[in-house]
């Protein structure tokens, strides 16, 4: 039996997106591609532990991939290699409707061929969790980490809970929008959004002397109160927008 992975440093439960946030993403996205890209960037920010999380969401209809959205270039390559091999943790989670954990990609016998194909991408562990996409469709949330200590039992349960929270809005998005192949321009825009969000999180952490998770909570709180998208809130912070007074006061108490 494999040894239990060590506990990664965490500071609390992963915040699930609110229904209002997901509705805003759907309503403000001109198409399914853009919605899924925004959702992937949103998820990468929300799921980040003290270390950044690379995320991708894959959607299939009638047994073929119709959309693959990634929060970074590395996550995109990790998914593309799986489709090139027609095998991988993501495809297994999606097609068999079960969670797949690869604790250490470098030593995995089951995923040896895939590991060889992505050996230069610096990913150490993978967690792939299915998302209920409704009849005739399948989806999975793929999380890539650079540390083998990231996905312990608690983290797995939280990512699974997070994936469940995405199901209803993803099913609605599939009905509202006709999925298509993701365009390179759309991916470029999503990567730019991720970079802005990451920069804003770093700035919030510096100002409040808090954790990354606390910074994510600040951005989500500001997005809810202003009814703006997360990337717009992040851009406003980088342009000098003030943080909520309570957050600044909380940060001032840190030693």
Number of domains forming the structure of the chain: 2
With respect to residue 253, please indicate whether it lies within any of the assigned structural domains: no
* Strand locations in the chain (E): 54-61, 64-70, 100-102, 125-131, 137-145
Q: Are residues 152 and 222 in the same domain?
A: no
With respect to residue 5, please indicate whether it lies within any of the assigned structural domains: no
Q: What is the CATH number of the domain that holds 122?
A: 3.30.450.80
Q: Are residues 123 and 227 in the same domain?
A: no
Both tokens assigned to 239: 């342009």
- How many other C-beta atoms can be found within 10 angstroms of the C-beta atom of residue 205? 18
Domain limits at 158? 19-183
Q: Are residues 144 and 31 in the same domain?
A: yes
Q: Which of 165, 183, 201 is the last residue of a domain?
A: 183
Residue 191: the pLDDT is: 52
Q: Are residues 103 and 175 in the same domain?
A: yes
For 134-165, how does the pLDDT look when each residue is reduced to its tens digit (9 = 90+)?
888 899 999 999 889 889 999 999 999 999 98
With respect to residue 128, please indicate whether it lies within any of the assigned structural domains: yes
3-state secondary structure of 102: strand
Residue 156: the pLDDT is: 93
Q: Are residues 144 and 207 in the same domain?
A: no
With respect to residue 1, please indicate whether it lies within any of the assigned structural domains: no
Burial label, 88 (beta-carbon count in 10 A; 0-12, 13-18, 19+)? buried
Please state the φ and ψ torsions of residue 16, each to the nearest 5 degrees.
-75, 145
Q: Are residues 207 and 129 in the same domain?
A: no
3-state secondary structure of 125: strand
Residue 79 CA to its chain's centroid (Å): 13
What pLDDT tens digit does each residue of the chain (255 aa) get?
333 333 343 444 555 666 677 777 777 777 888 888 888 888 888 887 777 788 999 988 776 666 678 877 888 888 888 888 888 999 999 999 999 999 999 999 999 999 988 888 889 999 999 999 988 889 999 999 988 988 999 999 999 999 998 998 888 888 877 554 444 455 445 555 666 777 777 778 777 777 777 777 787 778 778 877 777 888 787 777 778 765 444 444 443
With respect to residue 198, please indicate whether it lies within any of the assigned structural domains: yes
Residue 66: the pLDDT is: 61
With respect to residue 251, please indicate whether it lies within any of the assigned structural domains: no
**DSSP-derived secondary structure for 20-89:** HHHHHHHHH-SSHHHHHHHHHHHHHHHH--SS--EEEEEEEETTEEEEEEESSHHHHHHHHHHHHHT-SH
With respect to residue 7, please indicate whether it lies within any of the assigned structural domains: no
With respect to residue 3, please indicate whether it lies within any of the assigned structural domains: no
Q: Are residues 89 and 171 in the same domain?
A: yes
Q: Are residues 44 and 144 in the same domain?
A: yes
């Amino acid at each position: 039996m494999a040894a239990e992975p060590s506990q990664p440093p965490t500071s609390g439960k992963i915040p699930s997106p609110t229904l209002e946030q997901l509705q805003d993403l759907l309503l403000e996205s001109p198409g399914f591609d853009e919605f899924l890209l925004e959702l992937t960037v949103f998820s990468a920010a929300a799921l980040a532990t003290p270390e950044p999380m690379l995320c991708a969401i894959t959607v299939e209809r009638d047994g073929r991939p119709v959309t693959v959205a990634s929060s970074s270039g590395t996550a995109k390559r990790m998914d593309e290699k799986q489709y090139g091999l027609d095998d991988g943790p993501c495809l297994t989670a999606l097609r068999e409707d079960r969670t797949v954990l690869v604790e250490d990609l470098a030593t995995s016998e089951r995923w040896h061929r895939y590991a060889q194909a992505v050996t230069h991408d610096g990913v150490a562990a993978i967690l792939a969790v299915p998302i209920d996409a409704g009849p005739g469709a399948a989806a999975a949330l793929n999380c890539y980490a650079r540390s083998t200590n990231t996905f312990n039992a608690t983290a797995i349960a939280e990512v699974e809970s997070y994936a469940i929270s995405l199901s209803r809005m993803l099913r609605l998005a599939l009905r509202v929008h006709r999925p298509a192949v993701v365009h390179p321009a759309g991916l470029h825009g999503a990567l730019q959004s991720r970079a802005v969000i990451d920069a804003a999180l770093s700035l919030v952490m510096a100002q409040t002397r808090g954790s990354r998770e606390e910074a994510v909570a600040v951005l989500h709180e500001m997005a809810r109160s202003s009814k703006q998208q997360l990337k717009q809130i992040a851009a406003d912070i980088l342009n000098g927008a003030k943080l909520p007074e309570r957050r600044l006061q909380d940060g001032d108490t840190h030693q």
